[in-house]
Amino acid sequence: MTDYYESLGVPRDASAEQIKKAYRKLARELHPDVAGEAGEERFKDVARAYEVLSHPEKRQQYDMGVDPSSPSGGAGGGFGNGFGFQDIFETFFGGGGAPAGPVPRARRGQDALVRMDVDLAEAAFGAKRELQVDTAVVCGTCGGDGCRPGTDLKTCEVCQGRGNVQRVARSFLGQVMTTAPCAACQGFGTVIPEPCADCSGEGRVRSRRTLTVNVPAGVDTGTRIKLTAQGEVGPGGGPAGDLYVEIREKPHDTFVRRGDDLHCTLPVPMTAAALGTVLDLETLDGAQEIDLRPGTQPGQVVTLKGLGVGHLHTGGRGDLNVHIDVQVPTTLDEEQTELLRTLATLRGEERPEPRLAAAHPGVFSRLRDKLSGR
């Protein structure tokens, strides 16, 4: 059985005020917002120890060798595997489904989801980003127990700290006793006589925090990064849930991403494609030379190995695929036209002159031809 006194660092005869003071001190030191992931398990142990030792009846049970926070209550008996006659009776006659003891006030907080936009370079190489989140943190005034400083939890007078009440109902078998959560304390077994003014007894307050997010290379839209214990702190100063950061990759002006490969289109003049040339292309890694051989064809792809996006799980990088777009001039002056005709003659590629007139003349063109007798 866990030594809860040792977890809080107090003697076994410690007063309620000593236990409360020790818990508040440790809760501030070990909270994941301060100690990080390394203090998460220790923070849970301290919260569990305080939940037992701050409650008079639970502490008495614990001092007698029974751990009231364990699922079995620290005791055996009944039928095999801790399932006794009372469990069977309640199964058939409606025991009310209430827990055997009071509900812990310190409960785990909810997970949270935020979205973060990254550019292509950050997705390709990874990055370290600062992210601001509005979330629930442990109340610094009460340390998470919800009580005004100088006050403490009080045992519920209705259920006497049990967290549930028993009622007798009549049935065809006679009188049947049922158990239900105590309405006065909501099943906690304790009440807060003077709630903390800052958190209204919740043990947590809203605050804006700045977190550092390590974005690994290779993330893509929809990738989620888990930040353990960085979500909402639970009621009663309970352990925080997890925070998930969902990535959204912003479009790039030049490159299109397909998996871990990048694609782009490089316009090349017709003469450069025919004669060959060297062009500069600005990539994510800086300027790179693209060596085009003579006779480069439209749609040809030049692959630059290892200049794509980093692989998320396996390391390495994808490729950059450069698609060549050979641009044919749409207008030529007389000298350029004559040079191309000479080239076509030399290559034996003479073609009939193009028909400049439209294939389907308009209404006014046909009327003009008819009036002129054509």
Q: Does residue 318 register a pLDDT over 80?
A: yes
Burial class of residue 4, CB neighbours in 10 A (0-12, 13-18, 19+): buried
| Segment 272-284, tens digit of pLDDT | 999 999 999 999 9
So what's the pLDDT on residue 275?
94
Q: Does residue 360 register a pLDDT over 60?
A: no
Whether this model's pTM surpasses 0.75: no
Distance CA 3, CA 17 (A): 19
Q: How sure is the predictor about 352, in pLDDT bands with cuts at 50, 70 and 90?
A: low
| Segment 14-57, tens digit of pLDDT | 888 888 888 888 887 876 666 666 677 888 888 888 888 888 88
So what's the pLDDT on residue 92?
42
Distance CA 212, CA 192 (A): 37
Task: Give the total residue count for the chain.
Answer: 374
| Segment 206-222, tens digit of pLDDT | 999 999 999 999 999 99
> Does 185 belong to an annotated binding site?
yes
So what's the pLDDT on residue 350?
67
Q: Which amino acid is at 328?
A: V
Q: Which of 34, 41, 225 is nearest to 138 (CA)?
A: 34
Q: How sure is the predictor about 89, in pLDDT bands with cuts at 50, 70 and 90?
A: very low
Q: Does residue 270 register a pLDDT over 50?
A: yes
So what's the pLDDT on residue 374?
52
| Segment 149-208, tens digit of pLDDT | 999 999 999 999 999 988 776 665 566 777 888 999 999 999 999 999 999 999 999 999
Looking at domain 252-374, its CATH class is mainly beta
Give exposure, 312-334, as e/b (b: 16+ Cβ within 10 Å).
eeeeebbbbbbebebeeeeeeee
Give the N- to C-terminal CA distance of the chain in Å, as an integer: 112
∠28-148-180 over CA atoms, to 5°?
A: 95
Q: Does residue 356 register a pLDDT over 60?
A: no
Q: What residue ranges do the domains of the chain occupy?
A: 252-374
∠263-266-270 over CA atoms, to 5°?
A: 145
Q: Which of 40, 38, 52 is nearest to 8 (CA)?
A: 52
> Does 196 belong to an annotated binding site?
yes
The mean pLDDT of the chain is 83
Distance CA 110, CA 148 (A): 25
Q: 65-79, 151-165, 328-342: lowest mean pLDDT where?
A: 65-79
> Does 159 belong to an annotated binding site?
yes
Q: Does residue 85 register a pLDDT over 60?
A: no
> Does 264 belong to an annotated binding site?
no
> Does 199 belong to an annotated binding site?
yes
pLDDT above 70 covers what percent of the chain?
A: 80
Number of CB atoms found within 10 A of residue 192's CB? 22
So what's the pLDDT on residue 357?
46
